[in-house]
């Protein structure tokens, strides 16, 4: 049995077997190589981490949270296909939970 055949076993039942991009295609228009795309995705993940870090740091500062929320909403509209789904399929559970808490705070009215 070939390695590809072995790795394909069970793929039809896994919900994460198909990787989909969470980012808008337009932001990769200027990238000419896969390396440039990978570099941009890494920068986008770091930017998300910066938003989350600021969210945690500003837990007691209401004005800063409002400014963060406004900046996040503008940023997320430009970057993500679905603003409610901004986590990569391969992210760990702790990161997914942190992002879920962040999103609920950024999307509340």
* pLDDT tens column, 37-76: 999 999 999 999 999 999 999 989 999 999 999 999 999 9
Is residue 17 scored above 50 in pLDDT? no
Residue with tokens 């740091």: 57
Is residue 102 scored above 70 in pLDDT? yes
Alpha carbon dihedral 67, 23, 87, 103, in 10-degree steps, equals: 30
Say what percent of the chain tops pLDDT 70: 90
What is the domain extent for residue 89?
Answer: 3-107
Integer Cα distance of 36 and 40 in angstroms: 6
Tally of structural domains, the chain: 1
Beta-bridged to residue 23, according to DSSP, are: 80
pLDDT, residue 18, reads 55
CA distances from 87 to 6, 7, 11, 97 (A): 28, 24, 21, 10
């Amino acid at each position: 049995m070939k390695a590809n055949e072995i790795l394909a076993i069970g793929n039809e039942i896994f919900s994460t077997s198909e990787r989909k991009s969470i980012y808008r295609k337009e932001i990769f228009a200027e990238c000419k190589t896969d390396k440039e795309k990978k570099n941009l995705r890494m920068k986008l993940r770091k930017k998300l981490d910066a938003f989350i870090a600021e969210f945690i740091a500003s837990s007691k500062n209401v004005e800063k949270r409002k400014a963060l929320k406004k900046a996040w909403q503008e940023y997320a509209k430009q970057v993500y296909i679905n603003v409610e789904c901004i986590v990569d399929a391969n992210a760990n559970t702790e990161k997914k939970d942190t992002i879920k808490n962040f999103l609920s705070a950024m999307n509340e009215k």
